[in-house]
Chain A
Amino acid sequence: MIPEIGHFLLIVALGVAVLQFLVPSWGVWKRDARAMAVGQSAAQVQFALVFLSYLCLTWAFVQKDFSVTYVAANSHSDLPLIYRISAVWGAHEGSLLLWMLMLSGWTGAVSVFNRRLPADITATTLAVLGAISIGFLSFMLLTSNPFDRHFPVPADGKDLNPLLQDPGLIIHPPMLYMGYVGFSVAFAFAIAALVSGRLDGAWARWTRPWTTTAWLFLTMGITLGSWWAYHELGWGGWWFWDPVENASFMPWLVGTALIHSLAVTEKRGLLKSWTVLLAIIAFSLSLLGTFLVRSGVLVSVHAFATDPARGVYILGFLAVVLGSAFSLYAWRAPKLKSEGDLAFFSREGLLLLNNVFLVVAAAAVFLGTLYPLFVDALGMGKISVGPPYFNAVFIPLTAPLAVVLGLGMAVGWKRAKFKEVVRQLRWPAALAVVLAIVLPFLWVDGNSFAVFGGVLLGCWVLLTSVHDLWGRVRAKRSLLNGLSSVPRSVWGMTMAHIGLGVWVLGVAFVSLYSVERDVRLAPGESAELHGYQYFLRGVEPVRGPNYDADRGTVEVTRDGTSITILHPEKRLYRAQQSVMTEAAVDESPIRDLYVALGEPFDNGDWSLRMYYKPAMQLVWWGGFIMFFGGILAASDRRYRLAKLAQAPVEADGKVSA
């Protein structure tokens, strides 16, 4: 009964979404205030319906209702409760329901928090979100209903994909989806700006916190995904330039560009049509990501759907959304006039440069991800490009970005003197050079051009961020006074940049100083890796709730003293009879010691994969710091005050910092 209720609620939600699209659109056209207001209540009702429907599916999982096809395919009576709850988004149908929940949640939030916006802007925004909602709800109801039943009811489920039975995977998909779907709000705002023809500082100020929020979730989602791959896939890698990873990384790059161009649009009234274009592209890439991941075009752990009808539907939906958005853009964007001009050596000039680099980097990733698919579709052969391509293109494109970032914070809006900036930044620059020479000695006796370059860029970003903050604090009477006077948005920016610096440092060290060794050991034997001795003490069978495992005991010593005892596992999940590698890692900020079990040999030997990974943690810390920076920036008082401002929109247009 409960699954039928869930199904029914989705159908009702589709009806409400149609209302949410049509009535406010008509209201905007006829300038009818009552019709425009319908969008808000429709958005809230829709959220309630989808949320209840989501609970119905969760209930079916918790109750182990294997008569529901989706539950039977992704759960098992031995599956622990926490994984039964997270299994809701463990495969295609349920993850779409999660996507819908996020979308209706974002829409509901827009309807609640943006009451003070001009009625026509809110109405258009909600109508656009309603249209997206129609697309996804009908997709779900037509091709991928999670509530379908099947008979006869199987005695037990097929179990959740063992790869997904990991704490990292409980929160990775919701975070990622929050980010993906969040860009739909920026998209809807952009469409509203095009329809109304009004795009000014106030518009940018409404859009900024929404975009930043979407971005921070996407940042967290990507970081968690990477963390999961590192621990769960057993290869010791954290980024593979896999098409599915790229699908989440492209919207991130463009979203980052969007955050920066929104800043220029708000403060200086420039780059208006560019900002709108970025908002459209960011959302398009989110949709494209969904298409790539869910259509079965790519074979990977994420590719759930192999039903061609689904791929065709998403592709059609993508075509409709992009077609109408870009047509509207081509028609209306020329009306968006910039207020003033842009000097190259100014903050807005450097931010534009930052945008160019980010977008070109996204384009390079796009090329490497999609070109093989195009070639295949045209029947010109099967090709692929691996990580070497992405590294060769991505690093030269992002290194200048780091340099520009440091300059950009020191340069003022409108116009700046080059000499003055050089004078300001001479100390951070000198310190960065010194650190780039010295820091690598923490790990090895020596330095190389690549390490020097990476550390230099990382330190440069870090130090210029701190320097900028210090400059703001120093201008005040006391330290405390200074620190408390810095607005949250500035704290957020500084944190996000510091996070990036930390991340760059981590990436530089871990990619250049990692040491890997595959060995074959008998119990009692040991192998040496980068000064550490790894003793294989033994391998014993253990029994988990829904798997059997071989559990290794590996003691790591250095100069005779024991450092840690690691327990890597090789698990055989009973229901699917699939084998999983559970790596064991001893983590510290300086280095990770990583051990994974390979395979047993007939004579009792085991193969082991051992890694020494310097500064691996900095990569995760970088992501988390960016995430917190995003939270600070999005929660700045300014945005909340802006909502209360009763002043007419146009009067607020030319704000300068």
Chain B
Amino acid sequence: MTKRQKRMAAVLLLLVGLSVAAVLGFTAFSKNMMYFQTPSDIAAGQLPEGARIRLGGLVEKGSVQRGDGLVVNFSVADCDANLPVRYEGILPDLFREGQGVVAMGHMEGKTFVADEVLAKHDENYMPPELAEKLTTPDGKHSCAQFKSMGG
């Protein structure tokens, strides 16, 4: 091979490698992409059974009920809808009734089965996605009264 051909071969090899990496990356990306949903989204939408979801909302006051072992049931709500959630495991330190929460899991019938529950780092933390969805056009959170609502 001449020098020029060698260089072309090297460039070609690099391009092939990069495209493989890109394909790999984008496949993994689309496979693992999770959309953020609120209880209203789930009530409105037609989600396939078993689809993985990030559910965000507020833990309804008075809805937390302990079962056997580490099973815990609670209800996550936004302004318009609420959704029963079942979780088995240890809840994070900042999990409180009336506080924002993000749960990863899937729907089983009418119940959301979570395998991971996050309530991050800050007492007043609300997932930004949720804060945005709860914001009315005039820029205020519209769910102040909701937080004290009985479950």
* Residues of chain A whose beta carbon lies under 8 Å from any beta carbon of chain B: 163, 234, 299-301, 341, 344, 356, 360, 364, 367-368, 371, 381-386, 388-389, 392-393, 396-397, 518-520, 570, 576-581, 598-599, 601-602, 607, 609
Q: Nearest Cβ distance between residue A583 and chain B, in whole angstroms?
A: 12
Contact B32 A518 (CB under 8 A): no
- Take A389-B28, A576-B123 as given contacts and tell me if A598 and B90 are in contact as well, using a CB distance cutoff of 8 Å: yes
Using Cβ atoms and an 8 Å threshold, which residues of chain B touch A577? 123
Contact A371 B29 (CB under 8 A): yes
- Take A299-B128, A578-B123 as given contacts and tell me if A519 and B14 are in contact as well, using a CB distance cutoff of 8 Å: no
Cα A438 to Cα B3 in complex, Å, equals: 46
Q: Nearest Cβ distance between residue B28 and chain A, in whole angstroms?
A: 4
Cα A580 to Cα B92 in complex, Å, equals: 10
* Residue B24 interfacial (CB < 8 Å): yes
Contact B14 A356 (CB under 8 A): yes
Cα A615 to Cα B113 in complex, Å, equals: 33
Contact A382 B129 (CB under 8 A): yes
A-B contact pairs, 23 of them (CB 8 A): A299-B125, A300-B121, A344-B6, A360-B18, A367-B25, A367-B29, A368-B29, A381-B35, A383-B34, A384-B33, A384-B36, A385-B29, A386-B32, A389-B29, A392-B24, A392-B31, A396-B24, A397-B21, A518-B89, A576-B123, A598-B90, A601-B66, A609-B90
Contact B93 A581 (CB under 8 A): yes
Residues 60-90 of B, flagged 1 when their CB comes within 8 A of A and 0 if not, give: 0000001001100000000000000000111
Q: Nearest Cβ distance between residue A22 and chain B, in whole angstroms?
A: 41
Contact B91 A599 (CB under 8 A): yes
Using Cβ atoms and an 8 Å threshold, which residues of chain B touch A385? 29, 32-34
Q: Is the interface of B mostly helix, strand, loop or mixed?
A: mixed
Residues 1-44 of B, flagged 1 when their CB comes within 8 A of A and 0 if not, give: 00100100010001001100100110011011111100000000
Cα A607 to Cα B71 in complex, Å, equals: 11
Q: Nearest Cβ distance between residue A147 and chain B, in whole angstroms?
A: 26
* Residue B147 interfacial (CB < 8 Å): no
Using Cβ atoms and an 8 Å threshold, which residues of chain B touch A396? 24
Cα A581 to Cα B129 in complex, Å, equals: 27
Which of A389, A519, A580, A581 sits near B70, CB closer than 8 Å?
Answer: A519
- Take A360-B18, A577-B123, A607-B90 as given contacts and tell me if A388 and B66 are in contact as well, using a CB distance cutoff of 8 Å: no
* Residue B151 interfacial (CB < 8 Å): no
Residue of B nearest to A360 (CB): B21
Cα A163 to Cα B127 in complex, Å, equals: 19
- Take A383-B33, A383-B35, A384-B36 as given contacts and tell me if A607 and B70 are in contact as well, using a CB distance cutoff of 8 Å: yes
Which of B10, B91, B127 sits near A344, CB closer than 8 Å?
Answer: B10
Q: Nearest Cβ distance between residue A261 and chain B, in whole angstroms?
A: 15
Using Cβ atoms and an 8 Å threshold, which residues of chain A touch B29? 367-368, 371, 385, 389, 393
Contact B90 A364 (CB under 8 A): no
- Take A371-B29, A579-B93 as given contacts and tell me if A163 and B121 are in contact as well, using a CB distance cutoff of 8 Å: yes
Q: Nearest Cβ distance between residue B116 and chain A, in whole angstroms?
A: 9
* Residue B94 interfacial (CB < 8 Å): yes
Residue of B nearest to A598 (CB): B90
Cα A301 to Cα B118 in complex, Å, equals: 13
Which of B32, B54, B123 sits near A389, CB closer than 8 Å?
Answer: B32
Residue of A nearest to B104 (CB): A386
Cα A519 to Cα B69 in complex, Å, equals: 7
Using Cβ atoms and an 8 Å threshold, which residues of chain A touch B25? 364, 367, 393
Q: Nearest Cβ distance between residue B98 and chain A, in whole angstroms?
A: 15
Cα A388 to Cα B18 in complex, Å, equals: 21
Q: Is the interface of A mostly helix, strand, loop or mixed?
A: mixed
Contact B28 A393 (CB under 8 A): yes
Q: 16 new A-B pairs (CB below 8 Å) besides A383-B35, A392-B28, A599-B90?
A: A300-B120, A300-B121, A301-B121, A344-B6, A368-B29, A381-B35, A382-B36, A386-B32, A386-B104, A389-B29, A389-B31, A393-B24, A396-B24, A570-B93, A580-B93, A598-B90
Q: Nearest Cβ distance between residue A148 and chain B, in whole angstroms?
A: 22
Using Cβ atoms and an 8 Å threshold, which residues of chain B touch A609? 90
Q: Nearest Cβ distance between residue B122 and chain A, in whole angstroms?
A: 8
Q: Nearest Cβ distance between residue A484 and chain B, in whole angstroms?
A: 40
Using Cβ atoms and an 8 Å threshold, which residues of chain A touch B3? 341
- Take A518-B90, A601-B66 as given contacts and tell me if A386 and B34 are in contact as well, using a CB distance cutoff of 8 Å: yes
Cα A602 to Cα B65 in complex, Å, equals: 12
Using Cβ atoms and an 8 Å threshold, which residues of chain B touch A360? 17-18, 21
Using Cβ atoms and an 8 Å threshold, which residues of chain B touch A299? 120, 125, 127-128
Cα A485 to Cα B112 in complex, Å, equals: 66
Cα A520 to Cα B14 in complex, Å, equals: 54
Using Cβ atoms and an 8 Å threshold, which residues of chain A touch B10? 344
Cα A447 to Cα B137 in complex, Å, equals: 58
Residue of A nearest to B7 (CB): A341
Using Cβ atoms and an 8 Å threshold, which residues of chain B touch A393? 21, 24-25, 28-29
Residue of B nearest to A342 (CB): B10
Residues 87-119 of B, flagged 1 when their CB comes within 8 A of A and 0 if not, give: 011110110000000001000000000000000
Using Cβ atoms and an 8 Å threshold, which residues of chain B touch A367? 25, 29
Residue of A nearest to B13 (CB): A344
Q: Nearest Cβ distance between residue A340 and chain B, in whole angstroms?
A: 12
Q: Nearest Cβ distance between residue A108 and chain B, in whole angstroms?
A: 36
Using Cβ atoms and an 8 Å threshold, which residues of chain A touch B54? 384
Cα A570 to Cα B93 in complex, Å, equals: 9
Using Cβ atoms and an 8 Å threshold, which residues of chain B touch A518? 70, 88-90
Using Cβ atoms and an 8 Å threshold, which residues of chain B touch A580? 93
Q: Among A234, A381, A384, A579, find the residue whose CB has the most chain B CB atoms closer than 10 A.
A: A384
Using Cβ atoms and an 8 Å threshold, which residues of chain A touch B24? 392-393, 396-397
Residues 38-54 of B, flagged 1 when their CB comes within 8 A of A and 0 if not, give: 00000000000000001
Cα A518 to Cα B69 in complex, Å, equals: 10
Q: Nearest Cβ distance between residue A400 and chain B, in whole angstroms?
A: 9
Using Cβ atoms and an 8 Å threshold, which residues of chain A touch B123? 576-578
Residue of B nearest to A603 (CB): B66
Residues 132-146 of B, flagged 1 when their CB comes within 8 A of A and 0 if not, give: 000000000000000
Cα A609 to Cα B34 in complex, Å, equals: 27
Residue of B nearest to A602 (CB): B66
Using Cβ atoms and an 8 Å threshold, which residues of chain B touch A382? 35-36, 129
Q: Nearest Cβ distance between residue A624 and chain B, in whole angstroms?
A: 28
Q: Among A299, A382, A576, A577, find the residue whose CB has the most chain B CB atoms closer than 10 A.
A: A382
